[in-house]
């Protein structure tokens, strides 16, 4: 049985970690390199960087952030935001990223999933899906882009299944309805996708406490849990999450004493 991963997410804007609700009303949450190193030392299994202001200039800033983090942080790094082609993939991997996440670019050009998987291996390709509830979609959820602001008329479950067929090695599934709310993950959404794809699903959007993370693993089959706010602002620690998981029979990687 594989261990359940606890992932700290750093939303990066102009070289600083920020956090808001649904990617708006952003608050400064510190230096991303310093935070990544802290999380690495305090039990994070992975660090996920999301460049939420990925213009050309800010992409250069992000390359610098990843390079500096990789030099001193020894857990896997996933990077997303503004990844539009194979060259973006290549440059991020060269900077020290272990995985690259695609979202909007995959919607506009699904071929990027297959091309990047063929070139770099599916273990490097994470398909990020930002989902909203929708009565018009067969699964009840619609894929969105640009932080949940743009609807796509694409069904979440169909998109996840197709993404894996195209070569995605992992799904980063965010409920935009619960993102930043600290009211718990969308258990129905996570279970729907987890039960229908053969790759790991990372639950994202809504973690408020360690019990939320336990619930999404036990009740929804998530392979990993991702959070930002509760870690950045010291509400809960990664160690507390892992201890709660152990208490509930969930296998985790080293969580100290």
Mean pLDDT by 10-residue block, N- to C-terminus, for the chain (257 residues)?
A: 91 74 57 89 94 69 88 93 92 96 94 97 97 97 89 98 98 91 94 98 96 98 94 89 97 75
Taking the C-alpha atoms of residue 110 and residue 90, their distance in angstroms, rounded to an integer, is 18
Report pLDDT for 229.
81
Helices (H), 181-228: 187-194, 210-218
Specify whether the CB–CB gap between 221 and 194 falls below 8 A.
yes
- Nearest alpha carbon to residue 80 among 185, 174, 209: 174
Report pLDDT for 57.
61
Report pLDDT for 2.
84
Among candidate residues 11, 155, 179, 215, the one labeled active-site is 11
Report pLDDT for 55.
59
Taking the C-alpha atoms of residue 5 and residue 71, their distance in angstroms, rounded to an integer, is 22
Fold for domain 5-247?
TIM Barrel (3.20.20)
Question: Is 115 annotated as catalytic?
Answer: no
Q: Give how far Cα 132 sits from Cα of 120, 197, 225, 242, Å.
A: 30, 19, 19, 29
Among candidate residues 45, 51, 88, 130, the one labeled active-site is 130
The residues, any chain, with a CB within 8 Å of residue 245's CB and separated by 6 or more, are 4, 6, 210, 213, 214, 217, 252
Domain locations along the chain: 5-247
pTM: 0.93
Report pLDDT for 19.
62
Distance of CA 209 to the CA centre of its chain: 17
Kindly provide the b/e burial profile for residues 7-20, where b requires at least 16 CB atoms within 10 angstroms of the residue's own CB.
Answer: bbbbbbbebbbbbb
Report pLDDT for 129.
98
Taking the C-alpha atoms of residue 225 and residue 18, their distance in angstroms, rounded to an integer, is 19
The residues, any chain, with a CB within 8 Å of residue 224's CB and separated by 6 or more, are 4, 5, 6, 7, 45, 46, 200, 201, 202, 203
């Amino acid at each position: 049985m594989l261990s359940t991963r606890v992932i700290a997410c750093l939303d990066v804007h102009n070289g600083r970690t920020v956090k808001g609700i649904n990617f708006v009303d952003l608050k400064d949450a510190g230096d991303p390199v310093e935070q990544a190193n802290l999380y690495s030392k305090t039990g994070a299994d992975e660090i996920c960087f999301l460049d939420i202001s990925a213009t050309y200039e800010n992409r250069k800033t992000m390359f610098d952030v990843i390079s500096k983090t990789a030099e001193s942080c020894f857990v896997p790094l996933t990077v997303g935001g503004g990844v539009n082609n194979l060259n973006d993939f290549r440059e991020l991997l060269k900077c020290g990223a272990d995985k690259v996440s695609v979202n909007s670019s995959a919607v506009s050009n699904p071929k990027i999933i297959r091309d990047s998987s063929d070139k770099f291996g599916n273990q490097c390709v994470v398909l990020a899906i930002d989902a909203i509830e929708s009565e018009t979609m067969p699964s009840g959820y619609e894929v969105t882009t640009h932080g949940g602001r743009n609807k796509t008329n694409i069904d979440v479950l169909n998109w996840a299944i197709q993404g894996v067929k195209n070569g995605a090695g992992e799904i980063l599934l965010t409920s935009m309805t619960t993102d930043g709310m600290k009211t718990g993950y969308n258990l129905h959404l996570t279970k729907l996708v987890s039960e229908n794809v053969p790759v790991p699903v990372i639950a994202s959007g809504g973690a408020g406490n360690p019990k939320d993370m336990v619930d999404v693993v036990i009740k929804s089959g998530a392979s990993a849990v991702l959070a930002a706010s509760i870690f950045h602002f010291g509400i809960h620690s990664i160690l507390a999450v892992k201890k709660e998981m152990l208490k509930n029979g969930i296998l985790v990687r080293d969580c100290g004493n």
